Structure 1
């Protein structure tokens, strides 16, 4: 197993840098997105995370000088998909694992696969302007956590 974070303070530091917009762009990887998202889910729950994460991601993008447009930057459907998946993952593991272990286990689990959304969305739909701007329901398969495995 690849351990991304030796201590929970490393996760908290990542979250703090992201929220304060001081995280270097090269550190804002797919896995960093998932780490921050899981931290938010574990601390705020699904409802609040669904509101907070989009705002923080859009603000962070802008702090890097990147515009959130119809063709780049923040993507609502992909973000909400990952929030859903992380919430389901956290509900499944939180009784058995600490947040630190849950985050590190994402590295070697099917749940962390960057292409997971393509199990539910066609490329045509997910990469559309409409999907970038607002949450769209999947067109291949309804959300089913078991399809990730």
Structure 2
């Protein structure tokens, strides 16, 4: 896997803007990066307890993808298993560091941790299993390691 440098956040406002832009489907497509995915998820978990993240995020991301001209099908767009792995990672991270840390510090720490890596799901899934249509369309159990290790 190629190494990418993480783009960190300078303040909470940048993360709130991503989260609100995701919900409103107004976030520019080029801003929907790996870092933005994790920032939005962290903001939703911390600041939007009214949203049942595991159930609601699939529809939120799918609607956003379509609003910016994307497609959610068997080969592109929303991926259920990857999303659920990162939700578990975000929740584990927040349980570890606590909710008192400023949002941008919590997100930056996540991005710099093993849970923020772009290849996190591949620690638990073989490539063939993770990138199967079945994994994209619905959550499937890992075949390499238990998600309890997240």
TM-score tier by shorter-chain length is 0.7 to 0.9
Deviations 1:14-67 (A, max 9, x none): 11111111111111000000000011111345x811112111100011012212
2:134 is matched with 130
- Alignment pair present for 1:12 and 2:16: yes
Name the count of aligned residue pairs. 144
Structure 1 residue ranges without an equivalent (≥5): none
**TM-score, normalised on structure 2?**
0.87
**TM-score, normalised on structure 1?**
0.88
* Structure 2 counterparts to residues 49-128 of structure 1, below 5 A: 49-94=53-98, 97-128=101-132
CA RMSD in angstroms comes to 1.8
Runs of 4+ residues deviating >3 angstroms: none
Deviations 1:68-127 (A, max 9, x none): 101111011110111011111111011562222111222322221100110100001000
Deviation at 1:3, TM superposition (A): 7.4
1:33 is matched with 37
Work out whether residues 121 and 138 of structure 1, in 8 Å CA contact, stay in contact via their aligned partners in 2: yes
Partners of 1:70 and 1:3 in 2: CA distance:
29
Partners of 1:7 and 1:65 in 2: CA distance:
29
